[in-house]
Chain A
Amino acid sequence: MDRICGIVIFLLGAGIFWQGRGLSMGNLRAPGPGFFPNLVAFGMMILSPVLIIPGKKGEGEAFSTKSMFRVGLVFVVLLAYSFTMEYLGFVVMSFLLMIYLFKAFGGSQRWSLAVLWALISVGLTYVLFDIVLDANLPRGLLGV
């Protein structure tokens, strides 16, 4: 596990170098915008072999495919929410999201209960943020 992390860190450092190549380094008298990013990237690349080489055993939990799938699914749903929320409106999307989340986290929770909880939570937050705090939550295409 550590070895993979080390490689990822090394690539990240190299990536910063590569992406930051357009920024001028400057010199010690007048360090340019690229000076500090390169310093940071250099640090990452120097430290990463410490993780790669010894390949310590046992550290870090193993990822089980089952749990990764559950977490991944929730994550993808949240991402989808962030992309669609402004177009389809806060109330509608949050309501759907909350039904999903209550089902996903609650395990054996019944549908009716999940819908009820979603209704209460979205309703209360809508009143609190949109009406009391005047936060202008997006209404979206449906106008709600």
Chain B
Amino acid sequence: MDLLHNLYMGFSVALIPVNFFFCFVGVFLGTLVGVLPGIGPGASIALLLPVTYTLRPETAVIMLAGIWYGAQYGGSTTSILVNIPGEASSVITCLDGYQMARQGRAGPALGISAFGSFIGGTLSVIGLMLLGPWLARYALRFGAPEYFSLTCMSLIILSFLSRGSIIKCYISALAGLFTGLIGTDSIYGVLRFTYGSLTLSDGVGIVPVIMGLFGVAEVLTNIEQEEIRDIFKAKIKNLFPSLKDWKDSIGAIIQGSVLGFFLGIIPGAGPVMASFTSYAVQRRLSRHPEEFGKGAIAGVAAPETANNAASTSGMIPLFSLGLPSNVIMALFLGALMIHGITPSPFLVTEHPQVFWGVICSMYVGNILLLILNLPLIPMWVKLLKIPYGILFPLILLFCLIGVYTLNTNSYEILIMLIFGGVGYLMRKTGFEGAPFCFAMIIGPLMETNLRQALLQSRGNLGVFFTRPISAVVMGIACLLLILQLVPMVRKKSEVIKEQEDS
């Protein structure tokens, strides 16, 4: 009965005209940035953060969440039609999606990815609803050692995501950890690495860094590339998959939902890992693995379902532990903090309108996305025809204004540009931006909890291994680290890399 009561409250929040409107704005913008190359959900959520200051907290998160899961829908459209993934989580969809489009089956491919996304997203919302409050009660037992172990584990998991060298991924993360430390020390209040700068004494903001690494760097990388785009010209028909298509992909959708949901919860994993893993698992399970890569509909359904499921379940650690599981969640955390809400195990009980309102808005948002995506696909495709020569200067202008209005401080522009330059060099030398950003967010949490744990235990490092929850998490982390050192895993990641390249 409790659940019904909460759902009733949630829907009464989600269906208020203002919230419904911003939910629509969110999923619309999400689809847009998902379709457009060069700007992703991270940079656009960062850009819109200042706009949300004037909104109520639940409305703000409803809109930002809409951008987040909306982008997962939009990313698949470009993967299928032009073989350019709109988002990192749709990279794997290119393999079979583009092949299907070339065989004249773009319609069913787009259709199944929209329906798959809908089913995955909805099942994941149900999971979030059931698991979130339970985990929040459980999380009350978490202390500093547990949080430190969790952050360690999430950094190690993140390195499994790396498409290139694992060492480079760890180095990237270390550099991110350091960047997160700049500013005022959380325990003693000492200024660190600020060199007298007032802007830096607050720490390096996550928003300018994200816009630099993912917005500016992307544009800079694209300056040197010639514009080669093969816009899909054929008419898209039969958006509704046939009965046979459904039969071929229903297993993949269920598998993708479950796998995506659980991978999404783990801090450090998330939609990108979910889509890759789900594809690999689906090929292993399939009775016709040779069809994968040649236009198998299950190869589109599995990753597209999984990335949506994961993007939704990624909110569980934030809402129940107060731990952001990826860069986007860190931005949500920022949006909530502005309104004086600190995500913690108490969030569900103290701010039920935020928790249940956001959950219910996601049911609404998923339905809106289905409507936005199926009949309106031709419109999204037209957007792809905007020449880069117009699109990229506009993205830069938006980044410049967005980051300036954040604090009305032109040093923030400078910080963004510096990280844009760094991000460009990192791309060219094979370092990835995602571990850097994630480590930067998790860094202060990691440091504070490590130091508090050591203070409480009087310098006994064993505390991480003797408290049961912490011991289990640390155990998993160590196991993963050992697995990574075994060259077999190395080879596997190379296989995935090859698949992606081909």
Q: Residues on A close to B: CB < 8 A? A: 1-2, 5, 9, 12, 16, 19-20, 23, 27-33, 35-37, 40-41, 43-44, 47-48, 50-51, 59-61, 63-64, 67, 70-71, 74-75, 78-79, 81-83, 85-86, 90, 94, 97-98, 101-102, 104-107, 109, 117, 121-122, 125, 129, 133, 135-138
Contacts and interface: CB of A to CB of B under 8 A. Distances in A.
Contact of A105 (B388, B417, B421, B430): B388
Contacts of B190: 23, 33
Contact of B223 (A20, A83, A104, A109): A104
A1 B168 CA distance: 13
B433 to A, nearest CB: 15
19 contacts: A2-B430, A5-B429, A12-B175, A28-B454, A28-B459, A29-B459, A31-B450, A33-B188, A33-B190, A37-B192, A40-B177, A44-B174, A50-B167, A71-B224, A74-B220, A75-B220, A83-B414, A129-B401, A129-B405
Nearest to A75: B421
Secondary structure of the A contact surface, majority rule: helix
Nearest to A70: B223
Contacts of A137: 401, 404-405
B408 A136 contact: yes
Interface string B392-416: 1110111011001100101001100
B192 A20 contact: yes
Contact of A101 (B178, B396, B431): B396
A121 B216 CA distance: 18
B254 to A, nearest CB: 39
B171 interface: yes
Contacts of A135: 50, 401, 405, 408
B245 interface: no
Secondary structure of the B contact surface, majority rule: helix
Contacts of B397: 94, 97-98, 101, 121-122, 125
B178 A16 contact: yes
Q: How large is the interface on B (under 10, 10 to 19, 20 to 34, 35 or more residues)?
A: 35 or more
B171 A48 contact: yes
Contacts of A44: 171, 174-175, 178
A51 B168 contact: yes
B499 interface: no
Contacts of B458: 29
A93 to B, nearest CB: 10
Interface of B: 50-51, 164-165, 167-168, 170-171, 174-175, 177-178, 181, 185, 187-188, 190, 192-193, 216, 220, 223-224, 387-390, 392-394, 396-398, 400-401, 404-405, 408, 410, 413-414, 417, 420-421, 424, 428-431, 446-447, 450-451, 454-455, 458-459, 461
B167 A106 contact: no
B428 A60 contact: yes
Given A33-B190, A37-B181, A107 B421 contact: no
B36 to A, nearest CB: 15
B389 A105 contact: yes
A106 B171 contact: no
Contacts of A63: 428
Nearest to B455: A30
B33 to A, nearest CB: 17
A94 B175 CA distance: 32
Closest 6 CB pairs of A and B: A106-B389, A67-B224, A28-B459, A29-B459, A101-B393, A82-B413
Given A2-B430, A51-B167, A78-B420, 5 more contacts: A47-B167, A60-B428, A83-B414, A94-B400, A105-B223
Contacts of B429: 1-2, 5, 60
A33 B164 CA distance: 33
Contact of B459 (A27, A67, A106): A27
Contacts of B459: 27-30
A64 B192 CA distance: 38
A131 to B, nearest CB: 13
Contacts of A64: 224
Given A33-B190, A36-B181, A85 B171 contact: no
Contacts of A125: 397-398, 401
A77 B317 CA distance: 42
